[in-house]
A and B are shown apart, each in its own frame.
Chain A
């Protein structure tokens, strides 16, 4: 195993909304009435079935409550054991999956206020991502503007698969707002399920759904780069969360080759996609879909061509690793320090 460096920054940790009722204090009367009258269900995405092994490590499942919903357990299980100095809370309660823009905005707002009050106020090591109603970019920008003065919010959170590929100009006001306020854009695994997660239809198995998250990231990355998001916003950092990272080199080899052949189609893209990633895109280290041997992992890291791309993350409470083996075996100590401390600091303007 690889020893961790204490004082690390955990860039992907998931506090869970215990249930819809927990948000009631943060909803207006109208939306609280709506939730009750219409008998709204929990907004838990099928991306993480409650009892699926991957959704929560066996020793991280509290009795009767969703994993990640108890701050004391988060301290004990996620923050203390890894000597974490700062952890970024990414709430996956599925408000982006709602079809109504208005309802999406109301519940996103409630999630953010709940996060500030129940988590950030109580635990100084925590920071959070702003959940936005991506159903309507104007409303998403309003939510960013509302929360940007609170420096504990360090990032804007999006799901990797929604209505349209994330590079589309439709979403650019969100990127402009993020850049303006020194927020990164965190793109997390998950889908609004507007389309099947694969280009060949709805898969039978959850295993395929989770496997498809990586292909969703590959395509979101193609979209962000080809549409020119980073040409327009050169200071914007995008962090791919729970994306896996071992697919990145092969994807960039292909994307950069096609860019050389087809750049007349995207003439604004004045650098190879590989170079764009080095300056503007970062990835969290869990899950680590690594070669089975240390030598293979080192080769893969060499293929990344940069030691600045990877960020430490536990992905708590998802079951990505056992015991304290949050880092894959064979990482050199200098790289551990980069991944756990230097790279996150360089990535998040609000943490530097």
Chain B
């Protein structure tokens, strides 16, 4: 060696930095942008939050509605707020599957080798998905209205009802994220996610009033966060008690998030 370097200083400036904003959430927002661009490139990925709830609504209203409520248009009023909640619960399961996919392809290795906070990819993915959930909520309300759903609520109450649903979705997506970190295989995440989302949605008053169910089942249905959220949405959109169910629903969401957010982050860090 003819050259002598006193210390291992980098040959070049490591990274150009001028013009960049800084902040703890900036990287997460960049990764959320990735989620949005992905959706724009492949709108078919939106099927689970668009077409699927529309089919659910049509199926329940016109196939089961008559039998459940005796009248499909009366059932529509009951079902739209319920399917709104159910859609978002299912969609938050999709968050887990997508993350398991990412972990599988190795792109998280790339993210982890970059000088960004380790939680940024997780936070970014979930932020982008909250956008998906909101889209599905709006589609549900619009399509319900086309079918004949009528709300007495003003714009503020509609926004509030969507916000309560988003709170539940945000909490649940951490459950599915934790699941994705444990199960790893995308297909298994989807299968095991269904074991969570099916009892949550069908074991609730989303499609059928709890009063028709056996008492042992009512015990679960009446505490189920999905029921409480559906109650709150019905109260806001159709009139009826709001404060009680909304408080319970939000407490549920907060409780789930408090337990599963640190758990998901812990499991994610342990994998790295």
Q: Do A and B bind each other?
A: no
